[in-house]
A and B are shown apart, each in its own frame.
Chain A
């Protein structure tokens, strides 16, 4: 179950920063933003950020409860 192992590794039990990608080098300013495959919490509807940045400047903040 390699897939399950990856899911467990990503959703770590204890905070570590070992999988953080190098912030300065990854997606540097001026590069193309990757599209987002997430869903709206409110409705479950899938969302592509690219649909928004065709019309809007887009601010994206990542976060969690803790």
Chain B
């Protein structure tokens, strides 16, 4: 997974403002020679402990999903999704990839929105039941390159083979995937892109 230190910074920033943070440990996204798939729940526990150790997750609680991936399935099965859920149990932000800067902005937006609602009363137009969603494209390096290398060359190769078919692949990536021979180096990982979905905290007209 990507970006544990920035997530920890957000945890420190928002914990006193009524936010709870969790990391849900799921299946190994990119099984490789060093960290293969989970053959048992015991192995899953072992890997989760390793995640805590190597990513230095000391503050944010790690939840471990069951071996069936029940929670992971319920949320969509992507490997590094992020969700923000408000106090009515409503999804107010989701991203198919961890982006701490963006999440920071969304948390601040939710705080402001909640403040506005509280000041104008629960039946005002600021009710958080109304959302507009907007796709947001951004381009950058994949944060988790270290993760792939940690797992082994096989994991990198598997990713490159699948990349153009990923649900968040751009058209350019799809074309590239169709024409590329994947020569086996990992530079391609830097060219990945992502697409996420952001709530804009706007009242219904």
Report which A residues bind B (CB closer than 8 A): 6-7, 10-17, 19-24, 26-34, 36-42, 47, 49-50, 52-66
Q: What is the number of contacts between chain A and chain B, taking CB atoms within 8 Å?
A: 248
Interface of B: prevailing SS: mixed
Rank and list the top 7 A-B pairs by shortest CB-CB distance, nearest first.
A63-B1, A66-B151, A15-B158, A38-B63, A56-B20, A34-B74, A41-B62
Query: Are A15 and B70 neighbours in the complex by a CB distance under 8 Å?
Result: no
Q: List 27 A-B contacts (CB under 8 A).
A: A7-B68, A12-B31, A14-B31, A14-B158, A19-B77, A23-B168, A23-B197, A27-B91, A29-B197, A30-B92, A30-B133, A33-B83, A40-B64, A41-B49, A42-B62, A47-B63, A53-B86, A57-B114, A58-B21, A59-B20, A60-B24, A60-B75, A60-B84, A61-B7, A63-B51, A65-B50, A65-B151
CA distance A63 to B2 in the complex (A): 8
Query: Are A64 and B62 neighbours in the complex by a CB distance under 8 Å?
Result: no
- Stretch of B33-41, B117-125, B183-191 with 4 or more beta carbons under 8 angstroms from chain A: B33-41
- Count of chain B residues near A, Cβ 8 A: 95
Residue on B with the closest CB to A32? B89
CA distance A17 to B81 in the complex (A): 14
Report which B residues bind A (CB closer than 8 A): 1-2, 7, 10-11, 14, 18-32, 35-39, 45, 47-52, 54, 61-94, 96, 98, 103, 107, 110, 114, 129-131, 133, 135, 147-148, 150-151, 154-155, 158-159, 162, 165-168, 197-199
Interface-central residue, A11, A37, A58, by most chain B CB under 10 Å:
A11
Residue on B with the closest CB to A6? B68
Residue on A with the closest CB to B54? A65
Known contacts A10-B73, A58-B21, A61-B80; 4 further A-B pairs (Cβ under 8 A): A14-B154, A40-B63, A57-B87, A65-B1
Residue on B with the closest CB to A50? B89
